[in-house]
Amino acid sequence: MAKRKSEKPPRSKQLKLTITERAKWNRILKEVEKAEAPISVLQGITVNLIDGTQVDIDVEELLNEGILPEELEENINRKLRELDHIIKNVDFFISVENVAKTVQPFTDSLLRDL
């Protein structure tokens, strides 16, 4: 009896994933610890106070107005520390587009020779 070779699809077909760029980045972002995200990839921050008040910080807009990322991060962190006693929680909203713009050049460079 002759041994039969298993008929596997070519390796390239086995690894093929059909997802959009946005879906890919959304999936990656679900794995990221939001509090550790660089300020340059944040779209905004919502500070929820214990009295029910919400304070929205439009990070993208502030950066577009010319505030330096380091300066903005320092100011936000200082304010959060000052108000810590009345803060219930903080929500970070990450911009998929900004993450893709930041990470894609590194990814392209790393994967170029594969």
> For the segment 82-99, what is each residue's pLDDT rounded down to a tens digit?
999 999 999 888 887 887
DSSP secondary structure of 8-32? PPPHHHHS-----HHHHHHHHHHTS
pTM: 0.60
> For the segment 51-69, what is each residue's pLDDT rounded down to a tens digit?
999 999 999 999 999 999 9
- 3, part of any domain: no
- 50, part of any domain: yes
Domain hosting 51: range is: 37-98
- 18, part of any domain: no
How many domains, the chain?
Answer: 1
- 16, part of any domain: no
Distance between CA atoms of residues 62 and 78, nearest Å: 16
**Partners of 29 in the β-ladder:** none
